[in-house]
Structure 1
Amino acid sequence: MSESISRLAEKTFVALANPYDSVQRTYPLAFEEAQKVDNPRYVGIKDQNVIPESLLLSLHKAGFILHTIDHLAMGGRATDNRLTNPITGRHMTGSSSGTAINVRVHINDLGIGTDGGGSVLMPALSLNLYGLISKTLSVEAVTRAESHLSTDGIMLTPTVGFIARDLKTIEDACQSIGVIRSEQTRDSVTRVLVEHALHVPIKADEKDIRIVEKQFPDSNVKRADQISFLKKALNDYDVVISNEGPVDLEGIGDTIIGHMGSKAAMIQSSGHKYLSKVVNMVDATGLVIPANSLGEGILITTKSSPHSVQTVLKVARYFEPFTDKLLDSYFTQLKIYYPRGYGYPSY
C-alpha cells in the first residue's frame, strides 16, 4: 500500500467534515477496499446519472476506489454560487465544481465529472488541476446522455471527464479502462496548430511534428464562432494547442450574467474561458494542463478517435508537470479542518 492507513483515514475525516460543502455523500467503507490493493486511490464522482457503473467497476479493478458523491452547480451552470473556490474564496467554477474541489483538497485523487460546455475542463483549470474529456472514456455514458440546450442556446450532449492533481493519475485511469496502451508508441502527430506566442517545448529530435502558429479568438468572441474556429482547426491540423485562463479570476465566465448588457458581457469575457468551453461541442478530445499561474494553463485538443486520448497525453508529456508545494502542504493538514481550539489539553 503506497499511502499510509492514517492518511487514507484523514481523507475520509475531511470528506465527513465537508468544509467546502463539496461532498454530497461519503463512503467511509472505501477504507476497507483501499486496504486490499497495493496503490489505492480515492475517486469522487459528480452526482450525474450519465456516469455509468461500468466505468467505476473498471477503475476499481485498478485500485481506484469510490469515496464520495460530489455536489455540482445547479442546472449545469458555468459558475457555482453555492460553492467557494478553496484557493481564491470566490464562487467556484461549474458545473463539476464539487468534484474539482475534492481533488484539489486531497479528499480524492481522481474526480469524474461531466462536460457539456467546459464543465470539467474549466473547474479543473480554476484550481490548477489536470482535466481530460473524451467521448472514448465511456461509450455507455455517450449513449445514456441526453442532449439539451446550453444557456446560450447551443445544443450539446455531455460527456465524461477526469480531473486529477497530476498527469500520471489520469494516465493510469485511462490505461485501466483501456483507452491507452501501456507500451510506448510513435503515433503520428504531424501537424500542430499553436496559439501565437505560446511556447511549446517540442524536443529537437521529434522530426515528425510540424508546428504552425496562428492568432486564436479571444473570450469576447461568441461561442458559436469559437466552435467554427475549432472545427476548422481540427480539420486542418492533428492537434490544436491554446492558452486558457485565468479562469474566473478577473471576471465571471457565465452566460446567465453575461447576457445582461454590455457591462455584464465584459464581466463574462473577463472570466477568460476560451476554447475549453467548446471542446465537447465539436466532439473533440481535450486535455488541460495547469501552469504555475493561478487559474491558467494550456489546452491540447484533437479529434476524438480510438487513439485520441493517447495523442493528447503524448503531447502533454512535453510540458513541465505542475507542482505546488504550498497548495499540497496546506490542504493536506488535518488540523486546518479539525483545529484543537480552546481547552484542548496540552500533552
Structure 2
Amino acid sequence: MKEDVLEQYLKIAKGTLKARELLGKTVVSINEDLLIQEAESLKIKDRLITVGVKNTKQIDRLYVKRLIDTEDFIWHTIDGMSDGGRAIDINLINPITGRVMTGSSSASAINVLYGINDLGIGTDGGGSVLAPALSLNLFSIMAKGLGLKGSDEKVSTDNISFVPGIGVISHSFKIAKKSILSMLNIEDKLEINKQIKIAVCTRKNTILPTKEDMREKLAPIIRKIESLGIEINEENFPDFENREEAIKRVKELYKNYSMLITYEGPVDLLGTGDSVFGMLGSFAKSLQNQSGKYMVKIANMVNATAITIPSDEVSSGVVICARDGIEDGLSALKLAEQLKDIYEMPVLYKNYFEESYRRRKDNIIFSLRGV
C-alpha cells in the first residue's frame, strides 16, 4: 500500500514538472495547489486521476465539478487549443510522427501522452477530440450522442453549422469511460444488446492512405464482434471527401444500424486533413484527402457517441460511432470494452510516454551515479 501511494505521488509530481516545461505550449495554467490536494487525498485514496481541461467556455464547469466531486479525479491543468479551432495546430508537433499536430484539442492529447494528465477533456466539432487521440494512439470518447455537449452553435471551416460535442482522451479506456459516466451523472447498468446491428464498409469501398483496404484492416474486429453473437453487415460507406454528402449517407445508414465502425489513419501523416489548407488548389485538396480521417470528421455533426480504440500501427485505430441516444451510446461503450484489448501497444511506447515519469535525466551537475 505504501509503495502504491509513493508511486502515485511520484507520478503526479513528475507530471507537474513536465507541465511547467510546457507552459505556454500545451499548458495554459497549472493548479498550484495540486500537490497539497494530492497529499490530502492520498490519505484515503490509493489512486488519483489527474485531469486537464481545454481552455474553452464550451465545457460547462458543472461537468468538471461532477468529476472532482467523485474524489477520484483531481484537476491539474488548463490546456491550450488551436488558433480558431482549426483541424490542425500549427504551433504543436506530434511527438510520435514529428508532423504538425492534429485537432483543436491537441494540447490536451499531448498532455495525456506525456503522462502529465491521465485524462484530457476537450471539445469536438469535426474531429477535434477523436482525431488527436488517434494521431497519438490513445483512447477517446466523444459523448455528444449521450448528451454531453457545448452550449453555443459554431460554423466549421467548410461552412457547416454544429454544436460542439464534449469528449475525453486517455491512455486508459476504463478511465475514459468512468469520466464520461461521472460527468453525465448516469449509471451504466446495461449489458451488451445483442440485437444491435452494426455496419462496416464493403471491400474496396475505402482505401486508406497506406493503400490498404479499410475492410481488411477491420478483420480482427469483425471476428471478435461475431464471436459475441452480434450481427454485423457490410454496406457502401461514403467517400468522406465531401463532408455534407458523407453526413447525408451516414444518416441514411443510421436508419438501419445502431453503429458504424471504421479503421482510420495514419492521421495527418501522409496528408493534412484541414479545410483551410485544402482550399488552396487541387494539390492541397489531394493531400487533405490523404489525412486518414473518415468518420471522425463527421461523428459530432451526426450527434454520435464515438469511441477511438488505438491500434498498434502509427497514428491509427478503430472508430466506433453509435447513433444518437442513451441506449445506443451505452451499448457502444460496452462493445468497446470487449474490443479494447485486441491491439497491444509496443513496450517502448509505454515506457517512453505513459511511464516516462520513471525516467531519470541524470543531469551531470546533480548526478553522482557511476562516480
Q: Under a length normalisation based on structure 2, what TM-score does the superposition of the two structures give? A: 0.85
Q: 2:254 is paired with a residue of what secondary structure?
A: helix
- Partner residue in 1 for 2:273: 253
How far 1:74 moved relative to its partner? 0.5
- Partner residue in 2 for 1:101: 110
- Partner residue in 2 for 1:149: 155
Q: Relative to structure 1, is the Cα distance of residues 83 and 237 closer, same or farther in structure 2, using a 3 angstrom cutoff?
A: same
Q: Relative to structure 1, is the Cα distance of residues 126 and 345 closer, same or farther in structure 2, using a 3 angstrom cutoff?
A: closer
Q: 1:317 is paired with a residue of what secondary structure?
A: helix
How far 1:97 moved relative to its partner? 0.9
Conserved? CA contact 1:116–1:156, under 8 Å = yes
CA distance in 1, matches of 2:331, 2:189: 14
CA distance in 1, matches of 2:184, 2:86: 31
Q: Under a length normalisation based on structure 1, what TM-score does the superposition of the two structures give? A: 0.91
Give the aligned length: 341
Structure 1, residues 304-343: CA drift from partner, whole Å, max 9, x if none? 212333111112123242433212211333587x844454
Once the two structures are superposed, the pairs formed by residues 200-279 of structure 1 within 5 Å of their partners are: 200-202=222-224, 206-207=228-229, 209-219=230-240, 221-279=241-299
Q: Are 1:304 and 2:324 matched, yes or no?
A: yes
Conserved? CA contact 1:113–1:161, under 8 Å = yes
Runs of at least 5 residues in structure 1 that lack an aligned partner in the other structure: none
Match of 2:55 among 47, 50, 61: 47
Q: Are 1:85 and 2:94 matched, yes or no?
A: yes
- Partner residue in 2 for 1:328: 350
RMSD, aligned CA: 2.2
Q: 1:45 is paired with a residue of what secondary structure?
A: strand
One-letter code of the match for 2:57?
N
How far 1:182 moved relative to its partner? 4.7
Match of 1:172 among 173, 178, 182: 178
Structure 1, residues 32-90: CA drift from partner, whole Å, max 9, x if none? 22331332010001100111111111111231111001111110000100011111121
Q: Are 1:194 and 2:214 matched, yes or no?
A: no
Once the two structures are superposed, the pairs formed by residues 14-93 of structure 1 within 5 Å of their partners are: 14-18=18-22, 21-35=25-39, 36=41, 37-62=45-70, 63-93=72-102
Conserved? CA contact 2:251–2:302, under 8 Å = yes
Conserved? CA contact 1:179–1:307, under 8 Å = no
CA distance in 1, matches of 2:138, 2:114: 11
Conserved? CA contact 2:115–2:357, under 8 Å = no
CA distance in 2, matches of 1:280, 1:105: 27
Structure 1, residues 174-211: CA drift from partner, whole Å, max 9, x if none? 3323565354524354211012322223356633x211
- Partner residue in 1 for 2:209: none
Q: 2:326 is paired with a residue of what secondary structure?
A: coil
Conserved? CA contact 1:126–1:247, under 8 Å = yes
Match of 2:121 among 112, 115, 122: 112
> Percent identical across equivalent pairs?
35
Q: Relative to structure 1, is the Cα distance of residues 56 and 137 closer, same or farther in structure 2, using a 3 angstrom cutoff?
A: farther
- Partner residue in 2 for 1:4: 8
Q: Relative to structure 1, is the Cα distance of residues 189 and 174 closer, same or farther in structure 2, using a 3 angstrom cutoff?
A: farther
Q: 2:175 is paired with a residue of what secondary structure?
A: helix
Q: Relative to structure 1, is the Cα distance of residues 38 and 54 closer, same or farther in structure 2, using a 3 angstrom cutoff?
A: farther
Q: Relative to structure 1, is the Cα distance of residues 130 and 205 closer, same or farther in structure 2, using a 3 angstrom cutoff?
A: closer
